[in-house]
């Protein structure tokens, strides 16, 4: 069926909001115009975009299907601003966030991320969503996958096979990249072993909070007004842009994160649950946090 004009308008409006509230404006201002953007300024930009979109829904009836999406984004921008610009500046929290020990600073960061996720879950319930609507369920882990020829996924391949294969190859690629970039000595690796419980806990928390906050929640409010496929693309773009200043830095980091955003959002839709998205992300994070823990050790110290 052809997309009608109102659907096109809704789709365009949703894309504008996603792009303008992502990291893209900040990246353009900082990388091209050399203008530093504070957290407060980014929040103001995002709230202005969301406010303009809300006003547009009052004028243009076809856009009113975006109201839950705009309400969720407003909650996300607000709680992210509160946590990153206010809570983490409190002296008692800064003491933990600046602690040189991986066990301390990483778990403090993940505790703040969990606050954001819990607020988003509360917002979704207030919007009338059930937990299954935002994939807060195991789902059917052996559900059939849709074909992705360039990944070798055939139509109908069960996700319990696809998920295992993706987990292995994505983890292998992550380990290879980190090993080449870091090249830690065996002595440092051995000294990092006591950090293993914190590494596993941080990886479990981070994978859960990112999958719920930036993928499952987005899908639940976007699939209706823009369709499942476009919702996945929007998740991929937003998640990808959030990693411009991550590791690896720049366009490479954006493309890799966007790929993961697309793939894991796709797994949620096809299994109607969080399991494979969380598990694949968890395994990747285990290796990333392991190398962060290794990096926190002072050689010879």
Q: What is the pLDDT of residues 209-251, one digit of tens each?
A: 999 999 999 999 999 999 999 999 999 999 999 999 987 789 9
Banded pLDDT at 186 (limits 50, 70, 90)? confident
pLDDT at 136 over 50: yes
Domain span at residue 182? 5-295
Binning pLDDT at 50, 70 and 90, where does residue 299 land? low
pLDDT cut 90: percent of the chain above it:
86
Q: Is residue 128 part of a domain?
A: yes
* 3-class state of residue 248 by DSSP: coil
Q: Calculate the average pLDDT of the chain.
A: 93
Query: Pick from 40, 276, 266: which is nearest to 160 by CA?
Result: 276
Three-state DSSP string of 65-117: HHHHHHHHHHHHHHHHHHHHHCHHHCHHHHHHHCCCCHHHHHHHHHHHHHHHH
Residue 60 located in a structural domain: yes
Q: What is the pLDDT of residues 33-79, one digit of tens each?
A: 999 999 999 999 999 999 999 999 999 988 999 999 999 999 999 99
For residue 182, is pLDDT > 90? Answer: no
Residue 264: inside a domain: yes
Determine, yes or no, domain membership for 284.
yes
Q: Is residue 300 part of a domain?
A: no
In a domain, 212, yes or no: yes
- Gap between the Cα atoms of 55 and 14, Å rounded: 14
Residue 300 has what pLDDT?
52
Taking residues 138-151, report their average pLDDT.
Answer: 96
Instruction: Give the per-residue pLDDT at 301.
Output: 47
Residue 94 CA: distances (Å) to CA of 16, 104, 178, 274: 35, 11, 28, 32
Assess if residue 167 is contained within a domain.
yes
**Given a cut of 80, is residue 180 above it in pLDDT?**
yes
Is residue 298's pLDDT more than 80?
no
CB 73 within 8 A of CB 21: yes
- At residue 290, does pLDDT exceed 60? yes
Q: Judge whether residue 271 has pLDDT over 80.
A: yes
What is the number of other CB atoms lying within 10 angstroms of the CB of residue 10?
25
Q: Which tokens belong to 158?
A: 């069960």
pLDDT confidence bin for 179, thresholds 50/70/90: confident
Q: Quick check: 222 and 234 in contact, CB under 8 A?
A: yes
217 vs 224: CA distance, rounded Å: 13
Total number of domains in the chain: 1
**Is the pTM above the cut of 0.85?**
yes
Phi/psi-derived region of residue 148, left when phi > 0, alpha when psi is between -120 and 50, beta in every other case: beta
Q: How many whole angstroms separate alpha carbon 126 and alpha carbon 160?
A: 33
For residue 301, being part of any structural domain is answered with no
């Amino acid at each position: 069926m052809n997309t009608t004009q109102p659907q096109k308008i809704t789709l365009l409006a949703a894309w504008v909001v996603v792009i303008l509230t992502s990291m893209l404006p900040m990246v353009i201002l900082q990388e091209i115009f050399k203008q530093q953007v504070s957290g407060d300024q980014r929040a103001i930009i995002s709230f202005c975009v969301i406010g303009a979109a809300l006003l547009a829904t009052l004028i243009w009836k076809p856009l009113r299907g975006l109201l839950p999406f705009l309400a969720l984004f407003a909650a996300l921008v607000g709680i992210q601003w509160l946590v990153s610009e206010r809570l983490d500046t409190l002296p008692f929290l800064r003491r933990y966030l600046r602690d040189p020990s991986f066990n301390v600073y990483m778990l403090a960061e993940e505790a703040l991320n969990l606050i954001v996720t819990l607020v988003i879950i509360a917002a979704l319930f207030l919007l009338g969503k059930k937990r299954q609507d935002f994939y807060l369920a195991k789902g059917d882990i052996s559900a059939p996958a849709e074909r992705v020829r360039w990944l070798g996924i055939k139509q109908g391949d069960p996700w319990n096979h696809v998920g295992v294969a993706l987990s292995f190859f994505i983890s292998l690629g992550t380990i290879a990249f980190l090993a080449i970039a870091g090249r830690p000595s065996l002595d440092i690796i051995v000294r990092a072993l006591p950090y293993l419980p914190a590494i596993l806990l941080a990886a479990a928390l981070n994978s859960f909070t990112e999958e719920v906050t930036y993928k499952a929640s987005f899908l639940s409010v976007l699939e209706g007004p823009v369709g499942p496929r476009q919702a996945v693309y929007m998740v991929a773009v937003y998640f990808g842009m959030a990693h411009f200043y991550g590791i690896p830095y720049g366009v490479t980091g954006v493309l890799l994160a966007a790929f993961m955003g697309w793939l894991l959002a796709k797994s949620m839709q096809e299994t109607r649950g969080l399991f494979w998205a969380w598990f694949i992300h968890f395994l990747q994070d285990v290796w990333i946090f392991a190398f962060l823990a290794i990096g926190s050790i002072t050689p010879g110290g």
